Amino acid sequence: MMENWSYPAIYDENYFPAPGERYWFKTRETMPAGERERAILERLQIVCAYAYEHAPFYKCKWDEAGFHPSKLKSLEDFEKIPVVQKKDLREAQSRMPPFGDYLCVPDSDVFHIHGTSGTTGRPTAFAIGRNDWRTIANAHARIMWGMGLRPGDTICVAAIFSLYMGSWGALAGAERLGAKCFPFGAGVPGMSARCAQWLDMIKPTAFYGTPTYALHLAQVAQDEGLNPRDFKLKIMFFSGEPGASIPGVRDKIEDIYGAKVIDSGSMAEISPWMNVAGSAQTSGMLCWQDVVYTEICDPATMRRVPYGQRGTPVYTHLERNSQPMIRLVSGDLSLWTDEPNPCGRTYPRLPQGIFGRIDDMFTIRGENVYPSEIDAALNELSNYGGEHRIVISREAAMDELMLRVEANEDTFRRADAVQKFRSEVEHKIQKVLGLRTLVEIAEPHSIPRTDFKARRVIDDRAVFRDMHKQIEGAKT
């Protein structure tokens, strides 16, 4: 019998495992994978029937595809259900504002409203019911327990408190865990310096944010005369962008802070977004399949790929009932395995985390390149100043690539060191990507930092041409 396995989810808010227990729900986390999949199939049958009855969005989509929940007899049948794209959600909310015709609870049951920024089009509104909010809190507390966090620990949430779900989900989970919550936030000018001062004063157990912000915060702390290791952080868990599973980035953060780095995060629409998250003993990301059912699928067919292969994560809620997502395509790229996990949990794992979004990929002279690969390569170089920009031009048949890379202070002061560093960058990128790249070395702190997700790719032909002239001029 699986612990607290009901739909809608009902959790005992007073429950805690024994202090020395590794698992929050031992049966659910360590049961044979085949046994769990049989339970998941039963849950999927319930969730699909619920959505078909309460959401015109799903009824219409499935009727057009010839699918009815009564036909769901196996996980292979589930793979045949039409996937949901983000554009489908935007269209549904345009058709029936503000929450779309996939809201399955009365409007009066909506407890939290979050959403996307809408910077690339119509924003998407997330309507989260009161019970779902507690479900998210319980799931996050459980997964944070797996990271090694315990009641009484102090957790600094250093992410923007706005419509962004990550900060609020981490806070809700920390509260349910019985931790001391330190919701510092991010994004206000001068806040990073104050955050460093507070970290030095409070000495929290854990830190949550993005990998980019953690590296930026470390530089700010050092500029303030503070040593990030003096913060005494033990655990740093991240979401929002690739990095925490990339050795070059992960190892650099661990070295700077002297803390263990844990990767997490799927999609805001899929909160509890920690449904893919590492544990204290297991790197990469575990797919906590009894919270959100994750399939790694071929982007063309949307059928599961075998373990050991790459594909795009497709997510299905098993506990949410206000806006349940059923086969929502992430658009990200990852690789999954079913090898034994050091922590003893029997979930599939994404050993390299999320590589990045498929539509972020660009092709340079026949080679597929992800921005996260360049980020990882540069972070392995000792003279790297902490920020860079990837400038591409699509004027030719294939993209062309240049890099603007900051050097550190000592390197930038000496012309011979700059030339040497440029050669190191060119050699590193050649080795990692198999590509020759033009490199411009920039002054320290000349490239703007961010308190949120890094946006390092510039697709601008004019910028590309100007950089090309500058680089060629520097070589003559």
The model's pLDDT over 202-255, given as tens digits with 9 standing for 90+, comes to 999 999 999 989 998 999 999 999 999 999 999 999 998 888 998 888 999 999
- Residue 116's pLDDT is what? 83
Q: 262 and 367 share a domain?
A: no
Mean pLDDT of 273-290: 98
Q: What is the domain extent for residue 471?
A: 361-475
- Residue 434's pLDDT is what? 83
Rounded to whole angstroms, how far apart are CA atoms 101 and 323?
Answer: 9
**How many Cβ atoms sit within 10 Å of the Cβ of residue 37?**
15
- Residue 142's pLDDT is what? 98
The model's pLDDT over 15-27, given as tens digits with 9 standing for 90+, comes to 999 989 999 999 9
Rounded to whole angstroms, how far apart are CA atoms 16 and 14?
Answer: 7
Over its C-alpha atoms, the chain yields an Rg (Å, rounded) of 23
- Residue 402's pLDDT is what? 86
Give strand pairing partners of 128.
112
Instruction: Count up the domains in the chain and report the number.
Output: 2
Residue 325, phi-psi category: left (phi > 0), alpha (psi -120 to 50), beta (remainder): beta
- Residue 386's pLDDT is what? 86
Mean pLDDT of 438-455: 82
Q: 263 and 374 share a domain?
A: no
Determine the length of the chain.
Answer: 476
Q: What sign results for the dihedral spanned by CA atoms 305, 308, 309, 313?
A: positive
Q: 400 and 258 share a domain?
A: no
As given in the structure block, the two tokens for residue 451 are 């308190």
Q: Are 249 and 256 in contact (CB under 8 A)?
A: no
pLDDT at 359 over 90: no
Q: 260 and 379 share a domain?
A: no
Rounded to whole angstroms, how far apart are CA atoms 178 and 171?
Answer: 11
**CATH code of the domain in which 382 resides:** 3.30.300.30
Q: 132 and 234 share a domain?
A: yes
Mean pLDDT of the chain: 91
- Residue 357's pLDDT is what? 82
- Residue 372's pLDDT is what? 78
As given in the structure block, the two tokens for residue 167 are 């900060």
- Residue 435's pLDDT is what? 83
Question: Is the overall model pTM greater than 0.75, yes or no?
Answer: yes
pLDDT at 362 over 50: yes
Residue 202, phi-psi category: left (phi > 0), alpha (psi -120 to 50), beta (remainder): alpha
Of the three residues 274, 308, 342, the one that is the final residue of a domain is 274
Mean pLDDT of 426-433: 88
Of the three residues 274, 294, 328, the one that is the final residue of a domain is 274
CA distances from 356 to 117, 287, 415 (A): 19, 17, 35
Q: 261 and 367 share a domain?
A: no
Q: 260 and 366 share a domain?
A: no
Mean pLDDT of 153-181: 95
- Does 346 reside within a domain? no
| Higher per-residue pLDDT: 294 or 393 | 294
Rounded to whole angstroms, how far apart are CA atoms 220 and 214?
Answer: 10
121 confidence band (pLDDT: 50, 70, 90): low
Q: 371 and 240 share a domain?
A: no
Rounded to whole angstroms, how far apart are CA atoms 468 and 476?
Answer: 13
The model's pLDDT over 402-424, given as tens digits with 9 standing for 90+, comes to 899 999 999 999 989 999 999 99
Q: Are 218 and 256 in contact (CB under 8 A)?
A: yes
As given in the structure block, the two tokens for residue 371 are 């921005």
Give strand pairing partners of 368.
363
Mean pLDDT of 135-161: 97
Rounded to whole angstroms, how far apart are CA atoms 227 and 25?
Answer: 38
- Does 339 reside within a domain? no
- Does 448 reside within a domain? yes
* CA nearest to 405, candidates 433, 436, 378: 378
- Does 351 reside within a domain? no
pLDDT at 451 over 70: no
Which secondary-structure segment (H or E) carries 201? helix 191-202
The model's pLDDT over 36-75, given as tens digits with 9 standing for 90+, comes to 999 999 999 999 999 999 999 999 999 999 999 999 999 9
The model's pLDDT over 263-276, given as tens digits with 9 standing for 90+, comes to 999 999 999 999 99
3-state secondary structure (DSSP) of residue 428: helix
Of the three residues 242, 274, 306, the one that is the final residue of a domain is 274
Rounded to whole angstroms, how far apart are CA atoms 101 and 91?
Answer: 10
Please count the helices (runs of H) and the strands (runs of E) in the chain: 14, 21
The model's pLDDT over 307-339, given as tens digits with 9 standing for 90+, comes to 999 999 999 999 999 999 999 999 999 999 999
pLDDT at 118 over 70: no
> Counting Cβ atoms within 10 Å, is residue 355 exposed (0-12), middle (13-18) or buried (19+)?
buried
Q: 262 and 378 share a domain?
A: no
Rounded to whole angstroms, how far apart are CA atoms 250 and 283?
Answer: 10
Angle at 336 between CA 330 and CA 260, to 5 degrees: 90
| Higher per-residue pLDDT: 367 or 306 | 306
Q: Are 93 and 102 in contact (CB under 8 A)?
A: no
> Counting Cβ atoms within 10 Å, is residue 280 exposed (0-12), middle (13-18) or buried (19+)?
middle
- Residue 392's pLDDT is what? 81
Residues of the chain with pLDDT > 90: what percent?
75
* DSSP letter (8 states) at residue 109: G
pLDDT at 94 over 50: yes
- Does 124 reside within a domain? yes
- Residue 154's pLDDT is what? 98
Rounded to whole angstroms, how far apart are CA atoms 245 and 263?
Answer: 6
Rounded to whole angstroms, how far apart are CA atoms 429 and 200?
Answer: 36
- Does 353 reside within a domain? no
- Residue 92's pLDDT is what? 97
**CATH code of the domain in which 254 resides:** 3.40.50.12780
As given in the structure block, the two tokens for residue 111 are 């407890």
pLDDT at 444 over 80: yes
| Higher per-residue pLDDT: 70 or 357 | 70
pLDDT at 398 over 70: no
- Residue 467's pLDDT is what? 46
- Asked, as a colleague might, if the bond just before 97 is cis with ω within 30 of 0, I would say no
Mean pLDDT of 386-408: 80
- Does 305 reside within a domain? no
Q: 264 and 411 share a domain?
A: no
As given in the structure block, the two tokens for residue 356 are 């990045």
3-state secondary structure (DSSP) of residue 164: coil
- Residue 123's pLDDT is what? 87
As given in the structure block, the two tokens for residue 404 are 């603007």
- Does 367 reside within a domain? yes
